[in-house]
Chain A
Amino acid sequence: MSADTRTARNVSLLTRIGRGGPVTVLSLVLLALLLIFGLLLGDQLFSVGALQSMAFQLPELGILSLAMMVALLSGGLNLSIIATANLCALTMAYVLTHHVPGAEGFMWGAWQVMAVLAGIAVATAIGLLNGAVIAYLGVSPILATLGTMTMCKGLSIGLTRGNVISGFPDPIVFLGNGVIGGVPVAMIIFLALCAPVAVLLNKSPFGHKIYMIGSNEKATRYSGVDTRRVTLKVYVLSSLLAVAAALVMMARFNSANASYGESYLLVTILAAVLGGVDPFGGFGKVGGLMMALILLQVISSAFNLLNFSPFLTVAIWGALIIGVTALAVLREGLGGLRR
């Protein structure tokens, strides 16, 4: 990426603010916001309905942000997550709406599993392509994934002519709209993905290697790690998380299209960086990302209840990340400003 923040490279954005790390800082911001919104909206924000609708909306952006995060941690970037998700959703949608054996029974269930497997296969192929081009050919991640993004979207548009595929069996729709014990299934899926990703990143050798590559790729290679192989796996993992997002997204809308959720692409990067992920790689935790997502979701829901335009929400999200960073610089004292 660009060279202009080399100075800030060793310290992740939010850890510069407080000693407590991103989770503490974001919790404080969140508390302040909850106080303000609570005064403005009263019980509206904290009603069961409002909380449930937040829990319905958060997982899509959440899972996509996880997919972006693993790539960011390795010092890369994956611009193709949305295009991958849409291509996979269309693949699954195609299988689900064609040659369905019956309307119930074992074969019907097995066919749905087949559809999901087809989506996973497509995602793996895209992940391998991204990973191979980045790791083995040495293309910069932005450019490689920009290429696959355009290609995947082109394939989706070409195959569907921009049309929507809709009408899925109940079990699939349940994934996006169902509720178990008051908690949306999509939320459960998101949490069920966060846990293993967090464990994988923090406890497994693979995770440690991702952080090492993000901090210093050359040093990691010289210390005997097959960095290419790890990078390849990172992009496959990123793609697999994108297919999970695809499943939740298509289930929620009960349809799939070549250009769903495109406005999420750059927001996932914002969410990850707000959550303390260093845009140059090497630093960042799943917990921080989750706090950032909750923060963004609270702002979005509160603005919605206040009848503000959703575009204003997007502007505030952008301002938030700059504001949080400005805070960090101010805390460092005027020395930071004089540079």
Chain B
Amino acid sequence: MTLAADQRSFMPALRRFRRSHEFWLLVVVIVFCLGLGLATDSFLTLQNLFDLLTSNAFVGILAAGLLVVLVAGGIDISFTATASVAQYVALSLALSYGLGWFAIFAIAGAVGVVCGLINAIFITKLRISSIIVSIATLNIFYGLLIFFSGGKYITSLPKYFRDGVWWFEYDDAAGVPYALNLQILVLAIVFLCTWLLLNRTNVGRQIYAMGGNKDAAQRLGFQVFRLNCLVYGYLGLIAGVASLVQAQLAQSVTPTVLVGKELDVLAAVVLGGASLAGGVGTVLGTILGVALLAILQNGLVLVGVSSYWSQLFVGLIILVAVSITAWSERRRRQSKAIN
């Protein structure tokens, strides 16, 4: 579906885009933005958009990783536990041994990859459904982390880490500074890498093919185990990187704060059009899915709705979106059957 065919001309591609899930999502996001821009003075300000991007970077980064697993036809909900473990290990070691940027990202990424590979091995070798494996590993990783760390916070992070990244500073008329911070930088890199992986590499095509029909992919000679190691390892890597982004924003490490967010990330990816059956999903859709939920929650607060109610609206949006998608899918199939 999303295998972008060679673009002989611009118009057919545009026409195809107009029928896609992403197009309607984009329309909804733009309508939301315009509506909020008209209804409030504060939504379409650089300040608000900057904060919105920074505070949702963690969910966005994880969403990109989860997208790859969903496209491959699997599911993984252990990534929040993976992130907690990676964060804790990397920053504890950084404090003990005075490590720098490169080392902490390498350690967090490595811990994430190991956790991801554990998932991949269990899923492929034991042939249990990926949802069961990842529920089990979520509990194992998280349980062991809390057991060994005692649930203690780390608040005194290294100075360079607390300062983060602050490139290309720009001050607006009121003197408020903006810059490219760690959150936005990593978010952009991760989305770019995921797009390249899925759309511009041979492996990316194989991931779509395996998600579309695993048995056929296996008969064609695809190495299902290797592909699984790649996708779950990739999500693990992303979870490790995302965990540092979150720790930098929170300015502390709390082992208990990340677990429980896995279904929020799943909701964002699914809103973006990825299918749990595999083989379907795009990076653009995922970006829009994350954006829609972020803008919705931000907008409700700006309009003056108490933040206690925001979850109700998020639930409604998810339910309506998945219903519309399923309904239109069903009608398309029926009209095809008639013709």
Q: How far is the CB of A97 from chain B (nearest CB, A)?
A: 20
B131 interface contact, C-beta 8 A: yes
Q: How far is the CB of B217 from chain A (nearest CB, A)?
A: 10
State whether B322 touches A147 (Cβ < 8 A). yes
Q: How far is the CB of A145 from chain B (nearest CB, A)?
A: 10
Interface string of B123-156 (1 = CB under 8 A from A): 1111111111101111111111011000100000
State whether A318 touches B137 (Cβ < 8 A). yes
Known: A2-B73, A322-B133. A148 touches B319 (CB 8 A): yes
State whether A3 touches B126 (Cβ < 8 A). no
Q: How far is the CB of B26 from chain A (nearest CB, A)?
A: 21
Q: Number of B residues whose C-beta is below 8 Å from A?
A: 62
State whether B311 touches A153 (Cβ < 8 A). yes
Measured between beta carbons, the chain A residues less than 8 angstroms from B11 are: none
Q: How large is the interface on A (under 10, 10 to 19, 20 to 34, 35 or more residues)?
A: 35 or more
B215 interface contact, C-beta 8 A: yes
A152 and B315 CA atoms in complex are apart in Å by 8
Interface string of A1-21 (1 = CB under 8 A from B): 111111110000100000000
A150 and B297 CA atoms in complex are apart in Å by 13
Q: Which of A151, A161, A312, A339 touches B308 (beta carbons < 8 Å)?
A: A161
State whether A314 touches B143 (Cβ < 8 A). yes
State whether A138 touches B326 (Cβ < 8 A). yes
State whether B308 touches A157 (Cβ < 8 A). yes
User: Majority SS of interface residues in chain A?
Assistant: helix
State whether A4 touches B319 (Cβ < 8 A). no
State whether A142 touches B122 (Cβ < 8 A). no
A77 and B181 CA atoms in complex are apart in Å by 40
Measured between beta carbons, the chain B residues less than 8 angstroms from A153 are: 311, 315
State whether A6 touches B146 (Cβ < 8 A). no
A309 and B152 CA atoms in complex are apart in Å by 14
State whether B131 touches A1 (Cβ < 8 A). yes
User: Majority SS of interface residues in chain B?
Assistant: helix
State whether A3 touches B214 (Cβ < 8 A). yes
State whether A143 touches B318 (Cβ < 8 A). yes
Q: Which residue of B lies closest to A129 (CB)?
A: B319
Measured between beta carbons, the chain A residues less than 8 angstroms from B132 are: 269-270, 273, 279, 321
A166 interface contact, C-beta 8 A: no
Q: How far is the CB of A283 from chain B (nearest CB, A)?
A: 13
Q: Which of B143, B277, B310, B319 touches A3 (beta carbons < 8 Å)?
A: B277
Which of B2-10, B164-172, B192-200, B260-268 is the contact stretch?
B260-268
B330 interface contact, C-beta 8 A: yes
A52 and B128 CA atoms in complex are apart in Å by 35
Q: How far is the CB of A11 from chain B (nearest CB, A)?
A: 10
A137 and B331 CA atoms in complex are apart in Å by 10
Known: A158-B312, A266-B135, A316-B143. A1 touches B276 (CB 8 A): yes
Q: Which of A1, A138, A150 touches B318 (beta carbons < 8 Å)?
A: A150
Q: Which residue of B lies closest to A332 (CB)?
A: B127
Known: A4-B123, A144-B322. A151 touches B312 (CB 8 A): yes
Interface residues of A in 234-274 (CB under 8 A from B): 262, 266-267, 269-270, 273
Measured between beta carbons, the chain A residues less than 8 angstroms from B211 are: 3
Interface residues of B in 310-338 (CB under 8 A from A): 310-316, 318-319, 322-323, 325-327, 329-330
Measured between beta carbons, the chain A residues less than 8 angstroms from B325 are: 139
State whether B315 touches A2 (Cβ < 8 A). no
A260 and B236 CA atoms in complex are apart in Å by 30
Q: Which of A139, A140, A309, A317 touches B147 (beta carbons < 8 Å)?
A: A309
B65 interface contact, C-beta 8 A: no
B107 interface contact, C-beta 8 A: no
B75 interface contact, C-beta 8 A: yes
Q: How far is the CB of B56 from chain A (nearest CB, A)?
A: 17
Known: A270-B132, A309-B147, A315-B147. A150 touches B314 (CB 8 A): yes
Q: Which residue of A lies closest to B263 (CB)?
A: A146
Interface residues of A in 130-179 (CB under 8 A from B): 133, 137-140, 142-144, 146-155, 157-158, 161-162
Interface residues of B (CB under 8 A from A): 73-75, 77, 122-133, 135-144, 146-147, 151, 211, 213-215, 224, 228, 260, 263, 266-267, 270, 276-278, 306, 308-316, 318-319, 322-323, 325-327, 329-330
Question: Which 6 pairs across A and B sit closest by C-beta, in order of nearness?
Answer: A315-B143, A151-B315, A154-B312, A154-B311, A150-B315, A147-B319
Additional A-B contacts beyond A139-B323, A149-B263, A315-B143 (14; CB < 8 A): A3-B211, A4-B127, A4-B129, A4-B224, A7-B127, A147-B267, A154-B309, A157-B309, A266-B138, A280-B129, A312-B147, A315-B139, A315-B147, A316-B143
13 cross-chain CB contacts under 8 A: A2-B129, A137-B327, A138-B330, A147-B267, A147-B319, A151-B312, A151-B315, A270-B139, A280-B129, A311-B142, A311-B147, A315-B140, A319-B140
Interface residues of A (CB under 8 A from B): 1-8, 13, 79, 133, 137-140, 142-144, 146-155, 157-158, 161-162, 262, 266-267, 269-270, 273, 279-280, 308-309, 311-319, 321-322, 325-326, 329, 336-337, 339
